[in-house]
Amino acid sequence: MKTAKKGEWFQLIIPKDWNQFTIDHILREVWHGPKKLIHQLKMEKLVTVNGEQINWHKPLNSGDRFELKFFSEEEFGVIPAYFDIDVLYEDDHLLIVNKPQGMDTHPNEPSQTNTLANAVAFYLQAKGEYRRVLHIHRLDKDTTGAILFAKHSFIGAILDRMLEERQIKRTYVALVEGHIARRKATINQPIGKDRHHPTRRRISQTGQTAITHYKVLKEYKSKKCTLIQCRLDTGRTHQIRVHLSSIGHPLLGDVLYGSEASFPRQALHAIRLAFIHPLTGEKIECFAPFIDEPGIFPSEAFELINVHKDDTY
């Protein structure tokens, strides 16, 4: 699909398989855009076809120039602060960044400046892109790996829905204590807050649905630990940490959930992020290398991970 950014406008040439589609159909049925933002686009006349305002129910022809005003300048929503970020993928609509350990995903209070969101704001500011920083999901402070950000509210809302509907595939690699008997399994246990601890979560039948799939990659008998690969169907706070602890195999270094304090940090890394770009139709697949921490994961971890043909374990 041929697309381009023209100043504040996103431009798309209507492909043959969209011939006779209407503006309304594209926004609601193809992109599944949020009703509120679709209404805003219509009321503020932020959509044109071949440079003109037209009836939203008029059939379009392949080759028509479809334009939407997505890129107006906005406040970042956080204080820009410099940090040398590792960008895994970027286009006009979204950004995927490899988060280091010891850094929050976003500020917990307005004055905080040492988070990945602050660093992303500085990065965009340096490029002259004044966009509200919208993280689509989070990683714990000491978890590393790929995090997805949206550059405007329309795609942000679509990506939020895609995440909820499990259309964004997230793969993690982890080192856990002990040797897991079942080589491949699904942990389907609801997670809720722990009333006795301000940050900890626990298995709770009154909690939110949480589903984690895992498979064993390799056992390290001398170190009494196992390298595993995880895939999430849901995104609850501390989900992998809680689920693995619940089966007696907490992450190495995760003292909050029962591991010994003999490891530098919790051994969890978001290694892969994959989805179909909602506006361009491209397949986006990013792999996040291990950064700044030689020795946390075995050097063979990348080679052992099989994610291309096995999204269903």
pLDDT at 308: 47
Q: What gap in Å lies between CA 60 and CA 104, rounded to an integer? A: 45
C-alpha of 206 from chain center: 26
Q: What is the mean pLDDT of the chain?
A: 92
Higher per-residue confidence, 292 vs 127: 127
Helix/strand/coil for 32: coil
C-alpha of 160 from chain center: 9
Domain range list for the chain:
3-69
Helix/strand/coil for 164: helix
pLDDT at 284: 96
pLDDT at 115: 97
Q: What tens digit of pLDDT does each residue of 132-189 get? A: 999 999 999 999 999 999 999 999 999 999 999 989 999 999 999 999 999 999 999 9
Q: Is 140 a catalytic residue?
A: yes
Residue 95, both tokens:
């950004």
pLDDT at 302: 75
Q: What is the DSSP letter of 208?
A: B
pLDDT at 304: 79
Of the candidates 104, 140, 142, 254, the residue annotated as catalytic is 140
Q: Which one of 3.30.460.80, 3.10.580.10, 3.10.290.10, 3.40.190.10 gives the CATH number of domain 3-69?
A: 3.10.290.10
Over pLDDT 70: what percentage of the chain? 96
Highest mean pLDDT: which range of 52-61, 190-199, 262-271, 282-291: 52-61
Q: What is the DSSP letter of 31?
A: S
Q: How far is CA 82 from CA 4, 67, 162, 196, 287, in A?
A: 29, 34, 30, 37, 24
Q: What tens digit of pLDDT does each residue of 142-152 get? A: 999 999 999 99
Q: What gap in Å lies between CA 137 and CA 197, rounded to an integer? A: 23
